[in-house]
Amino acid sequence: MSIRIRKIGRIGQITLQRPEALNAVTYEMVLAIEAALDGWRDDDDVACVLIDAEGHKAFSAGGDLQYMYDTASKGDFDAGRTFWRDEYRLNAKIAVYPKPYIALCQGFTMGGGVGVSLHGSHRVVGESSKIAMPECAVGLVPDVGGTLLLARAPGRLGEYLGVTGYRMNASDAILAGFADYFIPEAEWSGLTEALIETGDASAVAALAQDPEDGPLMGLRAQVDEHFGGERLTDILADLPDNDWGAATVKAIRAGSPLSTNCTIELVRRARTGDEIRAALQQEYRFTSRSASEGDFVEGIRAAIIDKDRNPRWRHASVEEVTADTVAAMLSEPLGGDIDI
């Protein structure tokens, strides 16, 4: 079984159980988590929800990209659209869930893993945590509500994190607003036992410590100075001629030019709207077109299927993507926006 869902003591516990696949979130897992949350919402026996995962490498490294590739590469675009639509509905429910929602995020927490954890009320990271939104590298955009998390990061960190896929450690994630508490991972089992016994979410804050500073704090001034351009081409032109600037250019240009351009626009739309459902609807405009009109199939082929790391994107460079192309990818779909 890829997921364990149970009531134990005073909590509802969700445990991801696909460590061999870095706990990638499948469509069945999405539906199971949603059903559990719906059932526990008005259950007085459940004081709070705890989501965790088996294995040391990852809480969850993302969504089930193999399934998405297998269907989209055969021309079945509706399978992916259904996955995203139902996944986004779950992400929105987590963001507004009326009970404490506690996530313990070790190792890689990326993409779809962010969506089932980091919209919760109590987001815990530890020594091994590596949090990122690396979707541009596979022809997607930061989704599962990730554009809203990015938009709420201080200054221009959201744009930077979104187009580079920068991996945050615990301190970085707290600084960027992706996490709330650092607790040494050796104490997580004790925290879980306390929650089972009492259902009192204040146990999380009681165990929290200050993590060692991460590198993102030292990058903030540079990021704020150089990531304010209207379009991604403006940002690239403004990056400094130093080691950080060169590394940043390389990271941006490694992603799909269509994805990176659209990410800048999506983060800014999310910053203006500042609401989870609106952000998810905007993300869906892109993801629903990502296989049929974007780089998603090619991105997954290059990164996961053939692993040649040599994607042939639809656009040769960031500069080739016009404002009209971005507007078309993010335009209201036929039939209107989805109801999340």
Token pair, residue 181, equals: 């508490």
Q: What ranges in the chain are assigned the alpha helix state H?
A: 27-40, 65-72, 77-95, 112-115, 146-152, 157-164, 170-175, 188-198, 202-207, 216-226, 232-238, 243-254, 257-273, 276-287, 296-300, 323-329
Model confidence pLDDT, tens digit, residues 41-81: 999 999 999 999 999 999 999 999 999 999 999 999 999 99
Model confidence pLDDT, tens digit, residues 310-336: 999 999 999 999 999 999 999 998 788
* Residues 151, 7: Cα–Cα separation, whole Å: 35
Does residue 1 carry a pLDDT above 80?
A: no
Q: How far is CA 224 from CA 105, 157, 163, 218, 289, in A?
A: 28, 7, 14, 11, 31
Q: What is the pLDDT of residue 334?
A: 74
Closest by CA position to 168, among listed 115, 130, 221, 128: 130
When pLDDT is averaged across residues 273-296 and rounded to a whole number, the result is 97
Model confidence pLDDT, tens digit, residues 177-186: 999 999 999 9
pTM to 2 decimals?
Answer: 0.97
Token pair, residue 54, equals: 């088996």
Q: What is the pLDDT of residue 187?
A: 98
Domain spans in the chain, listed from the N-terminal domain onward: 1-329
Q: What pairs with residue 53 in β-bridges?
A: 16
Longest CA span, the chain:
59
Does residue 190 carry a pLDDT above 90?
A: yes
* Residues 88, 90: Cα–Cα separation, whole Å: 5
Model confidence pLDDT, tens digit, residues 123-174: 999 999 999 999 999 999 999 999 999 999 999 999 999 999 999 999 999 9
Q: What is the pLDDT of residue 281?
A: 97
* DSSP class per residue in 140-196: --S-TTHHHHHHHSSTTHHHHHHHH-PPB-HHHHHHTTS--EE--GGGHHHHHHHHH
Fold of the 1-329 domain = 2-enoyl-CoA Hydratase; Chain A, domain 1 (3.90.226)
Torsions phi, psi for 133 (to 5 deg): -120, 85
Q: What is the pLDDT of residue 335?
A: 80
Model confidence pLDDT, tens digit, residues 253-284: 999 999 999 999 999 999 999 999 999 999 99
Q: What is the pLDDT of residue 336?
A: 85
Q: What is the pLDDT of residue 339?
A: 87
Tell me the pLDDT band of 294, cut-offs 50, 70 and 90: very high
Model confidence pLDDT, tens digit, residues 208-261: 999 999 999 999 999 999 999 999 999 999 999 999 999 999 999 999 999 999
Q: Which residue has the tokens 């704020």?
A: 224
* Residues 43, 37: Cα–Cα separation, whole Å: 10
Closest by CA position to 124, among listed 184, 40, 53: 184
* Residues 245, 317: Cα–Cα separation, whole Å: 18
